[in-house]
Amino acid sequence: MYRYNDFDHDFVRTRVDQFRSQVERRLDGSLTEDEFKPLRLMNGLYLQLHAYMLRIAVPYGTLNGRQMRQFAYIADTWDKGYGHFTTRQNIQFNWPKLKDVPEILDALADVEMHAIQTSGNCIRNVTADHFAGAAADEVEDPRPTAELLRQWSTDHPEFQFLPRKFKIAVSGASEDRAVTRAHDIGLVLKRDDQGNPGYEVIVGGGLGRTPMVGKTIREFLPKADLLPYLEAILQVYNLNGRRDNKYKARIKITVHENGIDKIRAQVEEVFARNRDVFTGPPADLLADIEAAFEPPEFDNTRSATLEEALNSDAILRSFVDTNVAEHKNPAYGIVTVSLKPVGGTPGDATSDQMRVLADLAERYSHDELRVSHEQNIILPHVRRADIPAVHAALREAGLATANIGLVSDIIACPGMDYCALATARSIPVAQEISQRFDELKLEQDIGPLKIKISGCINACGHHHVGHIGILGLDRAGVENYQITLGGDGTETTAIGERVGPGFSAEAIVPAIETVVNTYLAERESPEETFLQAYRRLGAAPFKAALYPDQGVKSHAA
């Protein structure tokens, strides 16, 4: 794993000290809220509906046991004993007190973590495939690239005041688990015909008010050219990006309004100039970073322990079928720990659970953990022979829900239970859906199905790329939920289509049940997934089931 150097340590400590002084000035009345707000936001501190919220960056979702244990300590010492893992691979604490935040930031700095650039119109925490360094289908580990981007973008003088926030995701596998096509920039590691490493560069993707699928701006960019090329994209965006309207300021609008060909031509022109005079991190820095991400020493001893256990333990078998993915080393498995128990809050873990995860990482996963954008925790390198022991420990901690990729593995943003921007609640909808399908005992039969819920149009819950997306809105002072179908966040990214008028809080879960029942009735075979069936059938049968009396207006909110 990448470790901070002296510069990183000093930089983070200095920032904490600076912020401590600013908090003191706020508390003694020297700063007004208008003066203080940008300072706190730059340190990840938001003011939400009921309390402050601290958002902490987990760079590319990778952390070790000590860091996870520190989250548990923070949760117990300054919060309410739990944390919320987000769709940006970050963690949020929902109840910190203003005066305690400098202490929390110090505790984070002790374990090489911080909350810098988790807000504001800057380059945010770079996200990556949560199976990075472990997946069987990986061409190359995306994390060294993500770390290079973190170093390049942190405190970059030109990119601290972009037209709008800027999000970069990196994937290095054939399956896109990082939603690269829904980011401002998506990078996919690949090889050219001669086997040279480089990237497909995607630009202008994004969800939110105006969802867009990113467009390929460069089919193949040699690895060494990455930073000058991205700097060219950022420069073109910084000059062309609109600042007159917040809702039209993201690069997706710049690309949409100018056209990808025009943007590409401009970027190539700036890149040609930049390339020889680039003053950012040198290209050989990437080689140093790559060395820090060398895979752990795997134990290749094959053992029949797991196979024997599977024969006698149906619960373990179900867990392995659902939550264990193929590792690049056949003696290993990737274990996804679901933070979606039936009726639970997606993405939440208690401090006790965090400590269990830290212990398991240290003992069984080469001290590595990952946060997924789907709000689960990954133990990336578990010997298959150790899986029964890991499963037993997870069960004891209430962490062994076998539902990855199934109907109850729901993404939900905090919604109006916490978020000041939300227009409706998300969490109770997720809780009710998981409870309902648990009652129906249909989860395994339904098979792969991604439900994603956002409590406002900003789409933190990725509803546009949910197979079933749910968007919570305020319609004339009442919570109302719109359904989109057919979204997809993988390498075949698609934006879901809205089926029709929204549903009330009471009617939304029955409506989701109707959608699922329609799929079950219409699918050609159990092998045809929800998404495949939707792509074959289109929206018509789902609309007919949801709005049976054609007098659709009677449902309208």
Residue 288 structure tokens = 């140093």
Task: Give min distance, CB of 454 to another protein, in A.
Answer: 16
Does position 345 interact with another protein (CB under 8 A)? The reply is: yes
CB-nearer residue toward another protein: 95 or 278 = 95
Does position 506 interact with another protein (CB under 8 A)? The reply is: no
What does the per-residue mask of binding to another protein show for 298-337, with x meaning CB under 8 A?
Answer: ----------------------------------------
Q: Residue 127 and residue 199: Cα distance in Å, rounded?
A: 16
Does position 425 interact with another protein (CB under 8 A)? The reply is: yes
Let me know: does 362 contact 63? Beta carbons within 8 Å. no
- Position among 48, 238, 258, 529 found at the interface with another protein (CB under 8 A): 48
Cα atoms in the 13 Å half-sphere on the side-chain side of 291: 4
Residue 415 structure tokens = 């919604």
Dihedral in degrees, nearest 10, Cα atoms 548, 505, 424, 348: -120
Task: Give min distance, CB of 508 to another protein, in A.
Answer: 15
The set of residues, in sequence order, having a beta carbon less than 8 Å from that of 525 and lying 6+ positions away, is: none
Which of 97-105, 257-265, 283-291, 531-539 is the region at the interface with another protein (rule: CB under 8 A)?
A: 97-105
CB-nearer residue toward another protein: 47 or 545 = 47
Beta bridge pairs of residue 201: 187, 218
Q: Residue 487 and residue 481: Cα distance in Å, rounded?
A: 16
- Position among 10, 24, 38, 97 found at the interface with another protein (CB under 8 A): 97
- Position among 52, 73, 220, 278 found at the interface with another protein (CB under 8 A): 52
- Position among 44, 428, 461, 466 found at the interface with another protein (CB under 8 A): 428
Does position 98 interact with another protein (CB under 8 A)? The reply is: yes
Distance (Å) of CA 59 to CA 116, 277, 533: 11, 29, 36
Which of 29-37, 59-67, 283-291, 327-335 is the region at the interface with another protein (rule: CB under 8 A)?
A: 29-37
Let me know: does 140 contact 171? Beta carbons within 8 Å. no
Query: Which string of b and e fits 232-249 if b means at least 16 CB within 10 Å?
Result: bbbbbbbebbeeeeeebb
Which of 141-149, 288-296, 427-435, 442-450 is the region at the interface with another protein (rule: CB under 8 A)?
A: 427-435
- Position among 416, 433, 456, 508 found at the interface with another protein (CB under 8 A): 416
Task: Give min distance, CB of 474 to another protein, in A.
Answer: 8
Which of 120-128, 242-250, 300-308, 475-483 is the region at the interface with another protein (rule: CB under 8 A)?
A: 475-483
Task: Give min distance, CB of 50 to another protein, in A.
Answer: 5
What does the per-residue mask of binding to another protein show for 100-139, with x meaning CB under 8 A?
Answer: ----------------------------------------
Q: Residue 126 and residue 186: Cα distance in Å, rounded?
A: 10
Does position 99 interact with another protein (CB under 8 A)? The reply is: yes
Does position 224 interact with another protein (CB under 8 A)? The reply is: no
Q: Residue 283 and residue 471: Cα distance in Å, rounded?
A: 43
**What's the order of all strands across the beta sheet hosting 215-222?**
127-128, 168-171, 185-191, 197-203, 215-222
Let me know: does 155 contact 166? Beta carbons within 8 Å. no
CB-nearer residue toward another protein: 31 or 389 = 31
Does position 32 interact with another protein (CB under 8 A)? The reply is: yes
Q: Residue 67: name the closest of 100, 103, 106, 112 by CA.
A: 112
According to DSSP, the β-strands at 468-475 and 478-485 are antiparallel
Does position 33 interact with another protein (CB under 8 A)? The reply is: yes
Beta bridge pairs of residue 335: 324, 379
Give me the residues that bind another protein (CB under 8 A), please.
Answer: 26-27, 29, 32-33, 47-52, 80, 94-99, 345, 416-418, 425, 427-428, 431, 474, 477-479
